[in-house]
A and B are shown apart, each in its own frame.
Chain A
Amino acid sequence: MGVFHYFTDPVLRAPTIGTMLMCASAALVGVIFFLRKQSLLGEALSHAAYPGVIFGVIAAAILGFTDLQETALTSFILWGAFFTALGALFSIYFLETRIKMRSDAALCFILALFYGVGVLLASHVQFSLTSFYRQVQVYLYGQAATMTDIYILIYALLLALIGGVIWVFYKEFQIITFDRNYAETLGINTKMLDALLFVLIVSAIVIGIRSVGVVLMSAMLVAPAAAARQFTNNFSKMLLLGMGIGALSGFLGNYFSVELGVALPTGPMIVLSASFLCFLSILFAPRRGILWRMIRSTIFQSQRQQENILKAVWRLGKGKSASFENLKRLLGANPLELWFNLNRLNSNGWIIHDFTGYHLTSEGELFAAKIVRLHRLWEVYLVDYLGMGVEKVHHSAEEMEHILTPELERELTLLLKDPKQDPHAQPIPPLEV
């Protein structure tokens, strides 16, 4: 089936568009709570919404609604969930501030307790209000497939509400997220903004559990935010990106649950899609992604060894050459890596290989002298300016010689008045102009 089909088909469009909007709004709130390092709050609150769902059903049943009046029932469920989630939030706050319970224990305790009360109430519904029980179980793992067009409207309103609030208070949220103390000195009402954020997270969770379920809802707060963080340091970009990734996971979850054809539940599929997008971002995102970090580190290591090779040959004396075995022993290097780096040096024209072994070209000679110069300049600096012992400076210089830039070299030369000897009384090669 075509992708476009998911947005037009009368059966598929409500689940698809609905969950996309829902995931986007959850991701918006998720980004803020991710940056506050409170990602697990959503976990506790979503489980705590479960007893509320059942309170709602029981209240609706007592007031005489039947299990077929879905709109009325849904609004009871949403309000019930909203209030118990809010109650859980207050309980966590109380435990953390009044009796100094640690945050993780408070979250876990409230989560399990509220959920247990939920199970107790659910057993009551199962036993005495059996016709409603199916409605209750939907909220455990969510059921996007049975959503009707009205949900598109509900989720659009939710997204508009959350997006709108973040839009209006963007500056304030940014300041309290990154620098609370500064926010207080500016006279920003941090308590009020916190309360606003808590209402937002509770709303996002309560409305989201219909499609993803109480057990997995927290994933929709964490995964898109963690993925977005890999690409940007900018708050507004992260919000937009998180929203996009959330919406994309909503779509992919629906797409795969339909396309794979084994009646896969939509909620878990959405969570799996979001997790995969997050894993991909962690692996492949430019700059912060683990793959690029590894590539950068490999390039640096190889450059470092190339410079060390030049230095080692230079130390042997002018015009002398070194054999492969000799270099391997001097550098303690892995033969494959050494062979690769010697080839690179050769193709750069810094080293020549002939029957006597490897020796430096005149360019290589200059380059090696420059590295030795950096090494010895740094040693002078450490001894003269930082007062380190002469015997301790070599290791630091071994690292710094690969890092110092030409600008730093010039500054050091000026500062140290172009010294001719290092602390070990070795000559420092002159600065080439």
Chain B
Amino acid sequence: MERNPYFGADFFHFFSVLLHRLFGFITGNLGWDNLVSDEVQLIVLGGIGASGALVGTFLVLRKMTMLANGISHTILLGIVIAYFFSLRSIGSFEGHGTSAIHLPTLLAAAILTGVATAFLTEFFTKTLRLQEDASTGLIFTFLFALGIVLVTVLTKSSHIGTEAVMGNVDALQREDCWLVFVILTINALLIALFFKEYQLTTFDPALAQALGFSTVGFNYLLMVQVSATIVGAFRAVGVLMVLAFITAPVLTARLLTHRLKTLLFVAIGYGVAASLIGVALARHFLSVYDLALSTGGIVVTVMGMLFLGTLAYTMLWENRLRVLHKNLLNGESDLK
């Protein structure tokens, strides 16, 4: 493997190297095998950011983010089950960690646990008549605890458990790009294909029902997409930080716009931008201060900063409008 060209780069130098390398990839001078770890991280995190923004938009609008929080916890159980089945087919996991899990098995197990979580939560709310907040809280903590116990029993250490909730960007390999890319494509296709249906079942469930669209069906489809997004992200950022990828870009974009299509694109923009800045910052800290910080943690922090910045911007803008409005009423104008 060649030397990492980003080695020793600071924040701005990172971008100039990236541009050069991008040019190389476009012209074909560089290929798949030349992809270095910073670029793998960039692709994976950017992909998660875009996927998260796509599903997150509808989750936020449907007020279902806490269910996504539940799924992000219970998916550990799916990961453990997938791990167990892969373990049986490979034999031993010495030195493999989570990268040896068979990907289709992982995806299937994650989707299964995600849908099971949604179903159980609904069952406890509707049939057993437990209030909604409590059934959400009860189901996911139960399944998560079960996941941790199984991890401990199966692997004799809580290492996988820690990796699943913390994530580790440095353990990513080129193959991880594929999983993220596949999930992003599926998310984009499903949302493009069912845009009208998602829109209708989100904003006017009663009308959707009357027109014959199943709100419940699209809820479950969304849950499938959420589960896939979370499992695609767990190796990089862990099952909990992916929630920031799902909520933060959308909530930031909502400060600026309320039009659904614009919201989707602005949210994707924020998600990808945060990943880009985050990876560059991680490299910067390593080169300049010799600090090896968690890239996932940096990206999430950047997302928080972007939210605060956008919030400050909108609040200042509102304030200026208010002042302008008052001046206009008083007959003075500071329009120049």
Q: Which residues of A come within 8 Å of B, CB atoms?
A: 34, 37-40, 42-43, 47, 99, 101-102, 104-105, 107-109, 111-113, 115-124, 127-128, 137, 140-141, 215-216, 218-219, 221-223, 225-226, 262-265, 267-269, 271-272, 275, 278, 282, 290
Contact = CB atoms under 8 A, between A and B. Distances in A.
B141 A141 contact: no
B128 A282 contact: yes
A39 B242 CA distance: 22
A113 B244 contact: yes
A267 B66 CA distance: 22
A127 B304 CA distance: 23
B134 A222 contact: yes
A393 to B, nearest CB: 30
B197 interface: no
A278 B241 CA distance: 29
Contact of B128 (A140, A275, A290): A290
A222 B148 contact: no
B116 interface: no
B49 to A, nearest CB: 13
B297 A116 contact: yes
B148 A141 contact: yes
Interface in B240-268: 240-244, 246-248, 251, 255
A99 B314 CA distance: 11
B162 interface: yes
A272 B142 contact: yes
A128 B134 contact: no
A39 B152 contact: no
Contacts of B138: 219, 222-223, 226, 275, 278
B232 interface: no
Interface string B174-191: 000000000000000000
Given A121-B297, A222-B134, A215 B128 contact: no
Interface residues of B, number: 61
Contacts of B60: 102, 105
8 contacts: A39-B133, A108-B68, A109-B248, A113-B303, A120-B297, A216-B144, A262-B153, A271-B145
B199 interface: no
B166 interface: yes
A43 B137 contact: yes
Main secondary structure of the interface of B (DSSP, over half): helix
What 7 A-B pairs have minimum CB-CB distances, sorted nearest first? A116-B300, A120-B297, A219-B141, A123-B294, A112-B244, A112-B243, A275-B142
Q: Which of A34, A42, A128, A215 has the most CB of B within 10 A?
A: A215
Contacts of A109: 65, 244, 247-248, 251
A288 to B, nearest CB: 8
A127 B244 contact: no
A101 B314 CA distance: 15
A120 B64 contact: no
Contacts, number: 188
Nearest to B245: A112
Interface in B215-241: 238, 240-241
A101 B127 CA distance: 30
A121 B158 CA distance: 21
B311 interface: yes
Interface string B63-89: 111101100010000000000000000
A47 to B, nearest CB: 7
B112 interface: no
B316 to A, nearest CB: 14
B330 interface: no
A40 B136 contact: yes
A112 B248 contact: yes
Given A112-B247, A113-B304, A226-B130, A99 B240 contact: no
Interface in B253-293: 255, 291-293
Contacts of A124: 291, 293
Contact of A113 (B127, B142, B248, B292): B248
Contacts of B133: 37-40
A102 B60 CA distance: 9
A99 B255 contact: yes
A264 B149 contact: yes
Given A113-B248, A116-B241, A222-B138, A265 B293 contact: no
B47 interface: no
Contact of B161 (A99, A141, A222, A271): A141
B241 A115 contact: yes
A83 B152 CA distance: 32
Nearest to B167: A119
B155 to A, nearest CB: 12
Interface string B196-217: 0000000000000000000000
Interface string B118-132: 000000100110111
